[in-house]
């Protein structure tokens, strides 16, 4: 304990000294590329990097690093001035000024620890695009081996910075993608000079793997690259420094996990032999090592052949390792992540005499329930607006607001087994999340009603998410006005499920809901952690016995209308008498009940009512008739 205290005090003192020197130089009017200030920034970057080489635990390293970066962020306008300084040198590319080089080194080291620094960089107008421009300007000299030292440093620093931003602050992934880095990284990876030199290639592959698409994934991660990562994980685990050629084992495991997101890679990665090193990584004592390994295994487990390999592999014994973590890991997130992989394998495990009882022990619970929003936390603000609007419209909503620490998959099972409608919040981060995929896949396997929402600017579904939602109508909350789409969404929900009523118990609102789909529900989650400790249930209490009684009496009176009275009602609703000449009042009452209880059948029927071949005219008549069903009132004259 005393040793750790001294380490923290020494690093804090060194960083405070560097900041003081920077502050003093700037107060004297010296620029950021003056020898004195530039050297102080270099020392600052080096001291922050040194945190990873101390004897502290990883969790302690990240905590200390975040604290030190917070000191830098509080240093007036220093970070903004650093970015402005780099932008001022854009016209001089591919020449890299010494000040630019050391600033990117600081960003590279700081973004490993500080999500706030990542957000600061991401939020600076034009800065991420500038970083991409630097990489483009260095391409020719880099692949032709004509770069000078600080150019190589800057290229490595920028690619590592974007990797750190995407890894340790996932809300910046969309910004990195939008800045155009992927095309540049892929350009580097396709060149023979990079392909044939994995020392050069793996760092760039690392950065690309954070933001690549399904179509790009197949060109990345060749056998030599993967063998380099496999060897690196095993060597880093054995090394006293915890590193192999500058890579920590969890970093290499994260790259494998990124490549495993894509279906085109899953089978090949297992054939290349990634399971043994991932299992070794999962058995390491630190949380970041265990969670990285289980997440990589989670992505690999979505392939049917890989599932069989997982369950039958007695040499590596993946399943036993996952059960051990699910039951006894010190870290709640790891326990739930391991349970998630086992849940994906549950069908195969139930058929296994060795593992069937253990699966039942983990996943035996069922409950009742609600309507739900499945989402990635990057889009949380927009989804919270949608949730509020749906709730105010009278629906019961299950949405994971916090992050669950215990019994995540019990909670997920309770939700999924009980939803009437699942809102799939489609985004780049949703597609990449093994948790979101597991959630959507389980809901699909239970044949839950599904409504896709587009919630990510510029995102086009591909891979598993495109296949799952093909043919579904997508509610676009990015390119269309929110007010327009939320009205449409609520109308669709009204077609698919009834509104509910709830009561609050122990701070969690519980409801009972009737649905034509049978009661079923789904949960929601962000990319890099587990869902909340309890779902957030909410509904408005618009239904009441008095209202229901009046509705029943109204329907009874309407059913008794004779032909003349029924025709009078048609005229008041502006419905064409010739179309409904064969209908009785009783038939309309039946359709009104069908609309609420079996909406899919109702809408198939109502679209055929019109005799017109014009689809728009048929739709308009269907809309008018559907609206009229909510107004079955009759006047004294009609009765």
Query: Which pLDDT tens digit goes with each residue over 317-365?
Result: 899 999 999 989 999 889 989 988 998 887 788 777 787 777 766 665 4
Say if residue 557's pLDDT is above 60: yes
The answer to whether the beta carbons of residues 236 and 249 sit under 8 Å apart is: yes
Give the HSE-up count for residue 45: Cα atoms under 13 Å, Cβ half-sphere: 22
List b or e across 72-91, with b for residues whose CB sees 16 or more CB atoms inside 10 angstroms: beebeebbeebbebbbebee
Report which of residues 434 and 290 the model is more confident about.
290
Least confident of 353-367, 385-399, 609-623: 353-367
Residue 336 has what pLDDT? 87
Q: Out of 37-51, 171-185, 597-611, give the one with best mean pLDDT.
A: 37-51
CATH superfamily membership of 370-538:
Toll/interleukin-1 receptor homology (TIR) domain (3.40.50.10140)
Report which of residues 534 and 129 the model is more confident about.
129
The answer to whether the beta carbons of residues 342 and 322 sit under 8 Å apart is: yes
Residue 267 has what pLDDT? 92
The span from the CA of 20 to the CA of 520, in Å, is 60
Residue 532 has what pLDDT? 29
pLDDT (average), residues 266-285:
94
Least confident of 13-17, 307-311, 391-395: 391-395
Least confident of 139-143, 145-149, 370-374, 514-518: 514-518
Residue 470 has what pLDDT? 75
**For 210-266, what is each residue's pLDDT tens digit?**
888 776 655 555 788 888 899 999 999 998 878 888 889 999 999 999 999 888 889
Q: Out of 44-48, 336-340, 453-457, 515-519, give the one with best mean pLDDT.
A: 44-48
pLDDT (average), residues 608-629:
73
Least confident of 97-101, 396-400, 422-426: 396-400
Residue 503 has what pLDDT? 31
Residue 500 has what pLDDT? 59
**For 499-515, what is each residue's pLDDT tens digit?**
654 332 222 333 333 33
Given pLDDT bands bounded at 50, 70 and 90, which one contains residue 629?
confident
Give CATH 3.40.50.10140 domain extents, the chain.
370-538
Could you say which DSSP state residue 90 is in? G
Least confident of 163-177, 297-311, 351-365: 351-365
SS (H, E, C) 125-137: CCHHHHHHHHHHH
Distances 434 to 172, 417, 431 between C-alpha atoms, Å: 18, 19, 8
pLDDT (average), residues 262-271:
90
**For 49-72, what is each residue's pLDDT tens digit?**
999 989 898 989 999 999 999 999
pLDDT above 90 coverage of the chain, percent: 38
Say if residue 528's pLDDT is above 60: no
Say if residue 523's pLDDT is above 50: no
Query: In the predicted model, what is the mean pLDDT of the chain?
Result: 81
Least confident of 66-75, 239-248, 390-399, 490-499: 490-499
pLDDT above 70 coverage of the chain, percent: 82
Report which of residues 273 and 605 the model is more confident about.
273
- For every residue of 20-89, DSSP letters joined together read HHHHHHHHTT--TTSHHHHHHHHHHHHHHHHGGGSSS-HHHHHHHHHHHHHHHHTSTTHHHHHHHHHHHT
Say if residue 368's pLDDT is above 50: no
Helix (H) or strand (E) holding 150: helix 149-168
The answer to whether the beta carbons of residues 290 and 282 sit under 8 Å apart is: yes
The span from the CA of 358 to the CA of 324, in Å, is 11
């Amino acid at each position: 304990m005393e040793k750790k205290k001294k380490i923290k005090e020494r690093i804090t003192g060194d960083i405070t000294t560097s900041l003081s020197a920077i502050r003093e130089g700037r107060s004297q009017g010296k620029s950021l590329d003056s020898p004195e200030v530039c050297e102080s920034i270099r020392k600052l970057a080096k001291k922050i990097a040194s945190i990873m080489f101390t004897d502290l635990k990883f969790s302690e390293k990240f905590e200390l690093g975040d604290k030190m970066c917070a000191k830098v962020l509080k240093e007036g306008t220093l970070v903004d001035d650093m970015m402005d300084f780099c932008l001022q040198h854009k016209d001089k590319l591919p020449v890299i000024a010494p000040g630019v080089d050391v600033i990117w080194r600081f960003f590279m080291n700081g973004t490993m620890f500080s999500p706030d620094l990542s957000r600061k960089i991401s939020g600076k107008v034009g800065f991420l695009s500038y970083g991409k421009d630097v990489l483009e300007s260095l391409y020719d000299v880099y692949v032709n081996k004509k770069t000078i030292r600080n150019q190589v440093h800057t290229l490595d620093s920028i690619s590592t910075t974007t990797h750190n931003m995407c890894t340790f602050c996932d809300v910046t992934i969309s910004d990195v993608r939008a800045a155009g880095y992927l095309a540049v990284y892929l350009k580097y990876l396709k060149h023979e000079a990079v392909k044939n030199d994995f020392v050069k290639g793996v760092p760039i592959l690392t950065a690309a793997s954070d933001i690549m698409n399904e179509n790009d994934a197949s060109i990345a991660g060749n056998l030599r690259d993967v063998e380099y990562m496999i060897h690196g994980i095993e060597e880093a685990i054995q090394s006293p420094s915890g590193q192999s050629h500058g890579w920590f084992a969890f970093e290499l495991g994260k790259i494998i996990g990124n490549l495993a997101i894509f279906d085109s890679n899953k089978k090949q990665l297992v054939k290349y032999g990634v399971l043994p090193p991932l299992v070794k990584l999962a058995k390491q004592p630190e949380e970041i090592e265990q969670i990285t390994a289980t997440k990589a295994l989670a992505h690999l487990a979505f392939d049917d052949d890989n599932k069989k390999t997982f369950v039958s592999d007695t040499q590596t014994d993946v399943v036993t390792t996952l059960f051990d973590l699910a039951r006894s890991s010190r870290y709640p997130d790891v326990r739930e992540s391991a349970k998630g992989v086992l849940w994906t394998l549950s069908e195969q495990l139930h058929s296994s005499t060795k593992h069937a009882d253990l699966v039942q022990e983990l996943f035996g619970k069922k409950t009742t329930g609600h309507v739900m929003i499945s989402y990635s936390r990057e889009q949380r603000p927009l989804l919270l607006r949608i949730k509020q609007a749906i709730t105010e419209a009278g629906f019961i909503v299950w949405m994971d607001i916090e992050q669950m620490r215990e019994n995540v998959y019990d909670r997920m099972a309770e939700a999924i087994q009980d939803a009437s409608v699942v809102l799939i919040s489609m985004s780049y981060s949703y597609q990449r999340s093994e948790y979101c995929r597991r959630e959507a896949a389980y809901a699909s396997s239970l044949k839950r009603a599904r409504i896709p929402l587009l919630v990510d600017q510029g995102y086009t579904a591909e891979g598993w998410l495109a296949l799952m939602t093909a043919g579904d109508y997508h509610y676009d909350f990015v390119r269309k006005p929110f007010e327009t789409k939320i009205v449409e969404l609520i109308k669709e929900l009204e077609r698919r499920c009834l509104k509910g009523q709830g009561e609050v118990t122990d701070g969690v609102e519980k409801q009972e809901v009737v649905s034509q789909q049978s009661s079923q529900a789904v949960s929601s989650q962000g990319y890099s952690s587990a869902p909340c400790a309890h779902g957030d249930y909410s509904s408005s209490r618009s239904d009441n016995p008095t209202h229901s009684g009046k509705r029943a009496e109204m329907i009874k009176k309407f059913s008794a209308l004779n032909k003349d009275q029924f025709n009078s009602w048609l005229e008041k609703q502006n419905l064409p008498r010739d179309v409904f000449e064969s209908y009785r009042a009783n038939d309309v009452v039946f359709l009104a009940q069908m609309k609420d209880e079996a909406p899919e059948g109702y809408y198939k029927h109502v679209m055929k009512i019109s005799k017109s071949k014009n689809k728009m005219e048929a739709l308009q008549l269907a809309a008018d008739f559907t609206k009229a069903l909510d107004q079955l009132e009759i006047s004294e004259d009609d009765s």
